[in-house]
Amino acid sequence: MLLRVEDIHKQYGKDKVLCGVSFTMNKGETKVIIGPSGTGKSTLLRCINRLTPADQGRVWLDDEELTHTRTNINKIRAEIGFVFQSFNLFAHLTALGNVRIGPMKVKRMNKKDATTLAMEELERVGLSDKAGAYPAELSGGQQQRVSIARALAMFPKLILFDEPTSALDPELIGEVLEVMVSLAKEGMTMLVVTHEMGFARAVADEIIFMENGVIVEQGPPKQMFTNAKHQRTGEFLNKISELYGETG
């Protein structure tokens, strides 16, 4: 088992955002989290790599408890990729600079090796010709692919995606999903918050439906789409299928 999330609780003021979330992931699995906006999906992802501290609950990565206060969280975060909805590429660095800074500064790789590695990762997302471009010179789809390359360059055990295509113009969504699909097929372990049901159908081992800070239901895509146990799950899946279509 690669990731074990156990009974995560998180509260902002009086607002209970996560009320006991537990699930596990095996190496090579892709899981998709869906749920209405404001349900705590982003908060859950951030609790997993402790960008946000959970109030209660524990998380293990490869049998190392990363919620333990003595864990070197920087070392663990280097093993968990994070892809943000708004890309968050470093604005002062080129695409190449963005991808190699992690290996150079966190892993102390020398510049030459880091550059070679970064160019390989840019190639992998189809952007080696944009290595010298700054984020502001790239389309949203290209920025998101660079941010995926940035995560890949750290050789993560797991990548967390927080609505990676929600900020994109519809015509740019496909190029990002394509990269994600090929990663899933290569055996990368991925936890993806998305409403792209085409992606979920194509590569997800499991869909997790969250609402109001709890997991309502989880299961393989086929079962979730055709045979959901909870009425809410079916309703929500129908709604997003209408809203987002089945592309991707």
Partner 1 sequence: MSFEWEWFPKLAEGLPLTLQITFSCIAIGIVLGVLLALGRVYGPRFLRGICIVYIQFFRGTPLLVQLFIVYNGLPNLGITLTALQSGILALGLNTAAYQAEYFRGAIQAVRGGQMLAARSLGMSLPQAIRYAILPQAFRLVLPAWSNEFILMLKYSSIVFTVTLLDLMGKAKRLSARDSRSFEVFLVAALFYLVLVFVATMLLRLLENRVRIPGLGAPSQHR
Ligand X SMILES: Nc1ncnc2c1ncn2[C@@H]1O[C@H](COP(=O)(O)OP(=O)(O)O)[C@@H](O)[C@H]1O
Q: Which residues bind ligand X (CB under 6 A)?
A: 12, 15, 17, 35, 37-43
* Contacts of 16 by beta carbon, 8 Å cutoff, 6+ apart: 9, 10, 213
The CB-of-235 to partner 1 minimum distance in angstroms stands at 33
Q: Of 7, 87, 69, 96, whose CA–CA distance to 44 is shortest?
A: 7
Stretch that binds partner 1, among 71-79, 119-127, 193-201, 203-211 (CB under 8 A): 71-79
Binding test (CB under 8 A) with partner 1, winner from 134, 166, 167, 232: 134
Stretch that binds partner 1, among 15-23, 83-91, 179-187, 209-217 (CB under 8 A): 83-91
Is residue 88 within the footprint of partner 1 (CB under 8 A)? yes
H helices of the chain, in order, are 41-48, 73-77, 95-101, 111-124, 140-152, 170-185, 197-203, 221-226, 231-244
Sign of CA dihedral 54, 16, 32, 227: positive
Is residue 185 within the footprint of partner 1 (CB under 8 A)? no
Is residue 105 within the footprint of partner 1 (CB under 8 A)? yes
Structure tokens at 96: 């190449």
The CB-of-103 to ligand X minimum distance in angstroms stands at 29
Chain residues binding partner 1 by CB under 8 A are 49, 51, 74-82, 84, 86-92, 101-102, 105-106, 134-137, 147, 150, 154
